[in-house]
Structure 1
Amino acid sequence: MKIITIPVTQFMQNCRIIVCEQTQQAVVVDPGGDVDKINATLTQHNLSLSAIWLTHGHLDHVGGAHSLREQHNIKIIGPHKDERFWFDNLPMQATMFGFKPISAFYPDEWLVHDDTVQVGQLAFKVLHCPGHTPGHVVFYQDTQSTVIVGDVIFKGSVGRTDFPKGDSKQLISSIQAHIMTLPLSTAILSGHGEDTDVDNEKATNPFVSGQFG
Structure 2
Amino acid sequence: MELKEFTVGELMSKSYIISENGNALIIDPGAEGEKLYNYLQENGLKLKYIINTHGHFDHIAANQFLKDKTDAKILAHPKTNPKLKDPNLNLSQMFMRQQIMSPGLDKTLNDDEIIKFENLTLKIIYTPGHSEDGISVYIAEEKILFPGDCIFASGVGRTDLSDSSFQQLINSIEEKLFSLPEDTVFYPGHGPKGTISTFKNRVWPAVK
Q: Cα offset for 1:84? A: 3.5
Please tell me whether residue 94 in structure 1 is matched to residue 92 in structure 2. Answer: yes
SS in structure 2 at match of 1:61: helix
Separation (CA, whole Å) in 2 of partners of 1:184 and 1:178: 12
| Number of residue pairs aligned between Structure 1 and Structure 2 | 207
The answer to whether the Cα contact below 8 Å between 1:24 and 1:120 also exists between their aligned partners in 2 is no
Separation (CA, whole Å) in 1 of partners of 2:180 and 2:169: 16
Separation (CA, whole Å) in 2 of partners of 1:102 and 1:188: 27
Q: Cα offset for 1:40? A: 1.2
Q: Say which of 79, 84, 101 aligns to 1:82.
A: 79
SS in structure 2 at match of 1:139: strand
The answer to whether the Cα contact below 8 Å between 2:25 and 2:51 also exists between their aligned partners in 1 is yes
Partner of 1:16 in structure 2?
A: 16
Separation (CA, whole Å) in 2 of partners of 1:155 and 1:98: 25
SS in structure 2 at match of 1:41: helix
User: What TM-score, normalized by structure 2, do the two folds share?
Assistant: 0.93
Q: Say which of 176, 183, 190 aligns to 1:192.
A: 190
Partner of 1:38 in structure 2?
A: 36
Separation (CA, whole Å) in 1 of partners of 2:136 and 2:114: 11
Gaps of 5+ in 2: none
The answer to whether the Cα contact below 8 Å between 2:33 and 2:65 also exists between their aligned partners in 1 is yes
AA of the residue aligned to 2:50:
I
RMSD in angstroms over aligned alpha carbons? 1.6
Partner of 2:147 in structure 1?
A: 149
SS in structure 1 at match of 2:7: strand
The answer to whether the Cα contact below 8 Å between 2:113 and 2:124 also exists between their aligned partners in 1 is yes
Percent identity between the two aligned chains: 28
Q: How big is each residue's C-alpha offset from its partner over 1:153-178, in whole Å with a ceiling of 9 and x where there is no partner?
A: 00120011111110001101101111
SS in structure 1 at match of 2:124: strand
Separation (CA, whole Å) in 2 of partners of 1:129 and 1:35: 26
User: What TM-score, normalized by structure 1, do the two folds share?
Assistant: 0.91
1:180–1:108: structure 2 CA closer, same or farther, 3 Å change rule?
same
SS in structure 2 at match of 1:190: coil
The answer to whether the Cα contact below 8 Å between 2:81 and 2:105 also exists between their aligned partners in 1 is no
Q: Cα offset for 1:64? A: 0.7
